[in-house]
Amino acid sequence: MTELSWRGGAAAVVTLTFDVDAETPILAAGRQYADHLMVMSHQAYGPEVGVPRILELLAELAVPATFFVPGWVAEQRPGLAATIVEHGHEVAHHSYSHRAPTSLTPAQERADFERALAVFDAQGIEIAGHRAALWEATRTTLELIAEHGLAYDSSLMGDDRPYLLEVEGGPVTELPVHWSLDDWEQYAYLPEPQIGSVIESPRQVLELWRAELDGMRHYRCLFNLCLHPFLSGRPSRLLAVRELIEYAQSCGDVSFARCRDLAALARADRTLRPRKPPSVVADPTVYPD
């Protein structure tokens, strides 16, 4: 029987994803940082230096990727999203302001979500998927994704394979993430605002990610790598990314996909049974605020 799964016959599928946050996470921590030139330049490195370097690497190795871009970043740098698309990659929704949905009211989240969509629409960028700022999705997040006809989300951690969520307004394909495959946990550092406190060796990070890829090849999983251009766009770190991609290519049983293409394959995979989003009732007498 011919395999018609989301993996398409591969042992594991790699989605290379880049969150082009630029200044937004810092501004979300406090607008006063707009006047802190070290911090703003630290973040601007991502779109201005990291992204061109990453696009060059992806072209050289002939692998596709997905770039999650906040609407504010696309608005401030009008040619950025178009350049990514022109290179054959996907641009996806990553909020407008990079404020966590869990910190917003439903009305505020809707306004932020739709403001980003308006930016991409004005730039002629077709959006198929979404990733919540800080991965802090809410029920409103999933409902907005379905309401606006997006195909997938990539914010939750309920599996290490794609899964389908039953959401009011229509199904949403989830492409799950995990902290172990996020470069923020490895490299992020600023004294203020504090976004992390460790600057890890790229050799150790490469070892971690190679081990995870091998495990996912064994268990037939999705290797959904989340990178930030202001972090992994740095020279030694991008060389480690290159080595990781070349290792995956050498395995012979790993494929690469844009998130939108993988989501379409997952939606067509009849072995994936729809699930409901997490629904936990916390008794206030047991778990007080």
Residue 111: pLDDT above 50?
yes
Residue 121 lies in a domain: yes
Amino acid 131: pLDDT: 99
Q: pLDDT tens digit string along 180-238?
A: 999 999 999 999 999 998 899 999 999 999 999 999 999 999 999 999 999 999 999 99
Percent of the chain with pLDDT over 70: 99
Largest CA distance in the chain: 62
Amino acid 31: pLDDT: 97
How many structural domains comprise the chain? 1
Residue 86 lies in a domain: yes
- What predicted TM-score, i.e. pTM, was given to this entire model? 0.97
The band of 97, judged by pLDDT with boundaries at 50, 70 and 90, is very high
For 22, the domain range is: 12-268
pLDDT, average across residues 128-156: 98
Residue 2: pLDDT above 70?
no
Three-state secondary structure call for residue 188: coil
Residue 224 lies in a domain: yes
pLDDT, average across residues 27-33: 97
Residue 5 lies in a domain: no
Residue 181 lies in a domain: yes
pLDDT, average across residues 120-130: 98
pLDDT, average across residues 76-88: 98
Average pLDDT, the chain: 97
pLDDT, average across residues 46-54: 98
Residue 4: pLDDT above 90?
no
Three-state secondary structure call for residue 169: coil
Amino acid 289: pLDDT: 84
Q: For residue 150, what is the domain's CATH number?
A: 3.20.20.370
Residue 276 lies in a domain: no
Amino acid 1: pLDDT: 36
pLDDT, average across residues 112-130: 98
Residue 51 lies in a domain: yes
Amino acid 159: pLDDT: 98
Q: For tokens 């009849």, what's the residue? A: 270
Per DSSP, the chain holds a count of helices (H) and strands (E) of: 12, 9
Residue 89 lies in a domain: yes
